[in-house]
A and B are shown apart, each in its own frame.
Chain A
Amino acid sequence: MAPSIIKKKKTATGFIKAIESGSKHLLLKRFTLRFPEQKLKFVGDGYQFDPKRGVGIAGARGRHILFHEKCTGCQLCAITCEGIAEAIGMVKITEKWKQNKKGIMPQIDYGKCVFCGLCVDACPFYALFMTNDFELSSFTKEHLIYTPAQLAVKPKYDGSVDIKIDKRGAWHG
């Protein structure tokens, strides 16, 4: 737009409008998300990738989930992550899987992982997806390293709150 020369507001109207706008907000609802009681609802149950079509499916990028029955130990995720955060290391596993000759599966160190999801993009066997559980804090760095067995467990995340907007402003309902 052509530079509108904003007309010099008289100080009195400026203050009155500011007070009016400020006090108008006393009636609007509060916007804060009270985290432990309210948890945000994410779309779907985690980011997935379909190697055939070469495109991902929208979802929150939280903790990984590893499907042991599909993982072939091809180390593609480890090679991809090596350039990004070196968070994935391959470890021997005890059970025998026929499709996993070498018997190795990814172990993810969440102290280093940046949750970019490129390992999910790199996995050609639908074995590694992401869930929408992001509460991974622990007391020691070692506890942040998730073994393949831990990664196989489907986390329970019960977020049910999202942003609602109506006449009285926006709030987390």
Chain B
Amino acid sequence: MSKEYDREFEKKFQETTRLGLEVVKESEEDRLMTLSVGPQHPGSGHFRFTIKVDGDYIVYCDPDPGYVHRGEEKMSEYRNFIQNIPHLERPVIHDSTNITYSYSLAVEELLGVEVPRRGQFIRAIASELNRQVYTLYWLAIYGIFLGHSTMFMWPAGDRELFIDLLTALSGARVTHAYNIPGGVRNDAPDGFKEKCLQYVKYFEKRLVEYEDIFYNNPLFRQRTENVGVLTKEDAINLGVTGSVLRASGIPHDIRKVEPYDVYDEIDFKVQYMKTCDSFARAYVPFLDMRESCNIIKQLLDKMPDSGEVRLKLQSNPKGQPGESYKRVESGRGALGYYIVSDGSPKPYRVKISVGSFRNILALPHLLVGSKLGDMPSIYWALNYWPVEADR
């Protein structure tokens, strides 16, 4: 390939000099180098976005998701309400209790049933633990994106604590399939409460270490402060959600705005920051983790000691015709399910509105004009999980 290119360039080159014109002028397009931060890149996960780079500045960015699109919505139309759970948690398996949480809520509204109180508590605890697992995994990847290998190892290690708790609770490390329309699959094993309190207390001490070595590290501050600024109006206009929104100064958390299950009995403060830059988007999930610790403690001691955890539904429950839209605060923001049911045991239409798909709209907006070195800190601070966005 390079041989023809040279000959053709040679011809053009001689032609111009022979006619006395000045040498081949560099057109605007040639100066930009198109880089595909592609599906096979340590810096992007299964997601590709093409950027045009002029020297070190990014001048154009076009996200192109869809490399791991499984057609979850089409698949759910062929399965009944319970069979949908294992495949609906696949988009983000390490936040699996949250992603099936709003599905279960929506289906419960369609079935017109309500989960017993202890079940609601265990479901809330499992979803808080799962939020910790997701945020730690996200923080680990954020650390290695900025070249801070210790910041990859510590969160990945501490994540094992919460995975251990969830394994004791649901039986599986990551793909729990624990959240079922009608409650949770099984009751918490005995001794779970003390073990959970012990781990959470230890984890709170670990959070102080993260702050020392990562968040207050001047080099990290230099790389993320006022990088990729998403002002409050832009955030509202682009409709971003979750930590990206709370980092731009809007205290909007579904657990506080539209409390579901038992969250109205828990008093916690919505963590948000006003500095709207990449540092805020990195620090808000950290504050959320700390807040989650005390939520878990409150849930644990408010939980009734005995009682049913799951409704005994008919084996193939039929939903009333109608539709319901329920949303939950997942690791990446508001995660909503819009389910239309036509009276048969299979849902007529399931629409999943995930946080990642809404946050990625901010990527071109933020990347254009920033430097190539900022690309990892902006892209991963958007809390984007490719598999979830593609569904």
- The contact of B85 among A1, A9, A43, A118, by CB within 8 Å, is A118
Per-residue B-contact encoding for A1-25, CB less than 8 Å = 1, 0 else: 1010110010100110110111011
A14 contacts B217, CB within 8 Å?
Answer: yes
A18 contacts B213, CB within 8 Å?
Answer: yes
B160 contacts A58, CB within 8 Å?
Answer: no
A165 contacts B221, CB within 8 Å?
Answer: no
B275 surroundings in chain A (CB, below 8 A):
3, 5
B177 contacts A1, CB within 8 Å?
Answer: no
A55 contacts B187, CB within 8 Å?
Answer: yes
- The contact of A115 among B157, B175, B249, by CB within 8 Å, is B175
Q: Does B238 contact A (CB under 8 A)?
A: no
User: Besides A3-B273, A59-B189, 14 other CB < 8 A contacts?
Assistant: A14-B221, A21-B213, A22-B150, A40-B167, A43-B189, A47-B171, A54-B310, A55-B183, A55-B187, A58-B171, A59-B171, A116-B175, A117-B177, A121-B82
Q: In the complex the two chains form, what is the Cα distance from A28 to B170 in whole Å?
A: 30
Q: Does B17 contact A (CB under 8 A)?
A: no
B348 surroundings in chain A (CB, below 8 A):
none
Q: In the complex the two chains form, what is the Cα distance from A55 to B186 in whole Å?
A: 6
Q: In the complex the two chains form, what is the Cα distance from A114 to B93 in whole Å?
A: 12
Task: Identify the B interface with A (CB < 8 A).
Answer: 78-80, 82-83, 85-87, 150, 157, 160-161, 164, 167-172, 175, 177, 183, 185-189, 198-199, 202, 209, 212-213, 216-218, 221, 249, 269, 271-275, 283, 287, 308-313, 315
A115 surroundings in chain B (CB, below 8 A):
172, 175
Give the most central of B157, B168, B171, B199: most A CB within 10 Å: B171
A42 contacts B167, CB within 8 Å?
Answer: yes
B274 surroundings in chain A (CB, below 8 A):
3
How many Å from the CB of A129 to the closest CB on chain B? 11
Q: In the complex the two chains form, what is the Cα distance from A20 to B213 in whole Å?
A: 9
Q: In the complex the two chains form, what is the Cα distance from A162 to B199 in whole Å?
A: 12
A153 surroundings in chain B (CB, below 8 A):
none
Q: In the complex the two chains form, what is the Cα distance from A143 to B301 in whole Å?
A: 48
- The contact of A163 among B86, B164, B249, by CB within 8 Å, is B164
B186 contacts A83, CB within 8 Å?
Answer: no
How many Å from the CB of A30 to the closest CB on chain B? 9
- The contact of A116 among B79, B85, B157, B186, by CB within 8 Å, is B85
Per-residue B-contact encoding for A51-77, CB less than 8 Å = 1, 0 else: 001111111110000000000000010
A33 surroundings in chain B (CB, below 8 A):
160
How many Å from the CB of B252 to the closest CB on chain A? 14
How many Å from the CB of A88 to the closest CB on chain B? 13
Q: Does A84 contact B (CB under 8 A)?
A: yes
Cross-chain pairs A/B with CB under 8 angstroms, 22 sampled: A1-B269, A3-B273, A3-B274, A9-B216, A14-B218, A18-B217, A40-B164, A42-B167, A49-B186, A55-B186, A55-B310, A56-B186, A58-B171, A58-B187, A59-B186, A60-B171, A83-B83, A84-B87, A116-B86, A118-B177, A165-B202, A170-B202
B185 surroundings in chain A (CB, below 8 A):
55-56, 117, 121
